[in-house]
Chain A
């Protein structure tokens, strides 16, 4: 009896799980499908799901009209660069706050997070003017710098929670076992901190990859990442759904692949702080 009930429950959960998963994934699936339709089919009512004339012509058009490779290189440089730069600043910061907290540590953390509560447009004009005056507009360096700053609070917070989970006892044990500070870091702290740093890196690369506000406002062509590449098909040619879909598919493909391979780290990253 009990076994049958639990089997039924498992089946129900499986079905619900797949249904929710499909629902969440549907927009992406639809985008990919649309990218293989002709413009006419793309807007056809009722919408056609699988049985239409598959065509790769949108991809060819998108390829010939814009320089996908350059946008992708920009995206990689900017998201990876800003993440690495962010980690470089955030690791010592989070480290200090996790391992030698003071009375003000919580306040500092809150203050950092509070910068994320300010709507980005609020500082668009001053940042834009600064970029103009320093000649950073439409430069990879400028975008990397701005994304580093935008995501820094998140990186610090994530690392802080990960570092906090490393039990102080273990570090003290290393000290008792005769490890100098250097050896303690290399043999004990680093191996325990690496998984946390890895998931922070992954999540942040994705955040930076998808960041659209600053990248769109501060770049035009030379440094424009994939967000600008998609946007180019959405504003002036908003009605060309098929081409827009092709551009979107091309833009999310690399990050989708990365996400697939890093699933486990990502799940830890997305739920950070939620569970102990």
Chain B
């Protein structure tokens, strides 16, 4: 029931073309993440699906029905905003009950559904508070509660966690994933954090300047990025790119190798590099090296790996893990 299809959807603001033309299929129950750099049109795309912006061209089908001209109130979608957008003059109870009241449900049904949602989200003790008396995480949960009570065909999230601190973000990430497993509803989640994208998504849509660069499961994107942009965007630390002689030897304009696919030793390796800064994360060590005539490189080693700055090491890329790209930045197979 929650399938969403974008058919040649485009959006322009005045003269600015924000989304040239996008085709996208989202299956019922899928957790889809839109990811991309700031200003690439993620929010705009989400707002087009929500109906908060009018499309400039193309069609939007929700559950097989053309909803391009349908106002947001009748698309049966729920949205969680980055700013939470709670109603400041209503209690938590009033906020969660609002969509149910708008749907004209009987008050005992409203009561029950609000209580259920509050229990799922650990908000039972806060039902009579006003939003301003809640912490950021609690507010976020109220916003989610308001979304889940009315049983929408799909959920839309616009960077819902970006106002939370790091620890809370990780916890809420898990809660949203669990919610998805429980509710089995289509969710579209916008973020510019590729870790959120990798950990939550069934399917990632990588956007760049309003264009879809690649669509696929997190591992597909990690293993087989279609182009330089996706290769550089997915994965942390970022993939190393080398061009020039090193790439030409492998028949490519650019080659890419992830930091975790490099082995360092004193004895053998393809390149020779000088150790610069070492970042110790405890579990891992990120080593920043410079290869003469090739450029800088980051290697991800185990936490125990010790290297002195200025030391010279041999660098060996793992077999079969080198990505090759042509002069247009497209992946070569």
Residues of A at the B interface (CB closer than 8 Å) are 167, 169-170, 172-180, 183, 187-188, 191-192
Residue B167 is within 8 A (CB to CB) of chain A in the complex: no
Q: How far is the CB of B151 from chain A (nearest CB, A)?
A: 12
Q: Is the CB of A191 within 8 A of B89?
A: yes
Q: Scan B82-101; emit 1 where CB is below 8 A from any A CB, else 0.
A: 01011111000000001100
5 A-B pairs closest in CB distance: A177-B99, A169-B85, A173-B85, A178-B102, A191-B89
Q: Is the CB of A177 within 8 A of B52?
A: no
Residues of A within 8 A of B185 (CB): none
Residue B73 is within 8 A (CB to CB) of chain A in the complex: yes
Contacts A172-B52, A175-B52, A187-B98 given; does A167 touch B85 at CB 8 Å: yes
What separation, in Å, do the CA atoms of A175 and B86 have in the docked complex?
13
Q: Is the CB of B73 within 8 A of A170?
A: no
Residues of B within 8 A of A167 (CB): 83, 85
Highest count of chain A CB atoms <10 Å: which of B50, B74, B81, B86: B81
Q: Is the CB of A192 within 8 A of B89?
A: yes
Q: Which of B43-102 contact A (CB under 8 A)?
A: 50, 52, 71-74, 77-79, 81, 83, 85-89, 98-99, 102
Q: How far is the CB of A165 from chain B (nearest CB, A)?
A: 11
Q: How far is the CB of A167 from chain B (nearest CB, A)?
A: 7
Q: How far is the CB of A181 from chain B (nearest CB, A)?
A: 9
Q: Is the interface of A mostly helix, strand, loop or mixed?
A: helix
Contacts between the two chains (Cβ within 8 Å), count: 56
Q: Is the CB of B89 within 8 A of A175?
A: no
Chain B interface residue count, Cβ-Cβ cutoff 8 angstroms? 22
Residues of A within 8 A of B71 (CB): 175
Q: How far is the CB of A153 from chain B (nearest CB, A)?
A: 29
Identity of the chain A residue whose Cβ is nearest the Cβ of B152 in the assembled complex: A176
Known: A169-B83, A176-B78, A177-B78. 9 other contacts (CB 8 A): A167-B85, A170-B86, A173-B146, A174-B87, A176-B73, A177-B73, A177-B99, A178-B73, A191-B89
B146 touches which of A172, A177, A180, A187 (Cβ 8 Å):
A177
What separation, in Å, do the CA atoms of A174 and B102 have in the docked complex?
9
A175 touches which of B73, B88, B150 (Cβ 8 Å):
B73
Residues of B within 8 A of A183 (CB): 102
Q: Is the CB of B88 within 8 A of A173?
A: no
What separation, in Å, do the CA atoms of A172 and B88 have in the docked complex?
14
Q: Is the CB of A173 within 8 A of B102?
A: no
Q: Is the CB of B99 within 8 A of A178?
A: yes
Identity of the chain B residue whose Cβ is nearest the Cβ of A169 in the assembled complex: B85
A177 touches which of B88, B89, B150 (Cβ 8 Å):
B150
Residue B134 is within 8 A (CB to CB) of chain A in the complex: no
Return 27 A-B CB contacts under 8 Å, by A number: A167-B85, A169-B81, A169-B83, A169-B85, A170-B85, A170-B86, A172-B52, A172-B72, A172-B79, A172-B85, A173-B79, A173-B81, A173-B85, A175-B73, A176-B50, A176-B79, A177-B78, A177-B99, A177-B102, A177-B150, A178-B74, A178-B99, A178-B102, A179-B98, A179-B102, A187-B98, A191-B89
Identity of the chain B residue whose Cβ is nearest the Cβ of A187 in the assembled complex: B98
Q: Is the CB of B87 within 8 A of A176?
A: no
What separation, in Å, do the CA atoms of A192 and B89 have in the docked complex?
7
Residues of A within 8 A of B102 (CB): 177-179, 183
Residues of A within 8 A of B120 (CB): none
Identity of the chain B residue whose Cβ is nearest the Cβ of A183 in the assembled complex: B102
Contacts A172-B72, A187-B98 given; does A178 touch B85 at CB 8 Å: no
Q: Is the CB of A170 within 8 A of B87?
A: yes
What separation, in Å, do the CA atoms of A262 and B52 have in the docked complex?
39
Residues of B within 8 A of A174 (CB): 87, 98
Residues of B within 8 A of A180 (CB): 73
Residues of B within 8 A of A169 (CB): 81, 83, 85
Residue B277 is within 8 A (CB to CB) of chain A in the complex: no
What separation, in Å, do the CA atoms of A176 and B89 have in the docked complex?
18
Q: Is the CB of A178 within 8 A of B150?
A: yes
Q: How far is the CB of A38 from chain B (nearest CB, A)?
A: 55
What separation, in Å, do the CA atoms of A191 and B98 have in the docked complex?
14
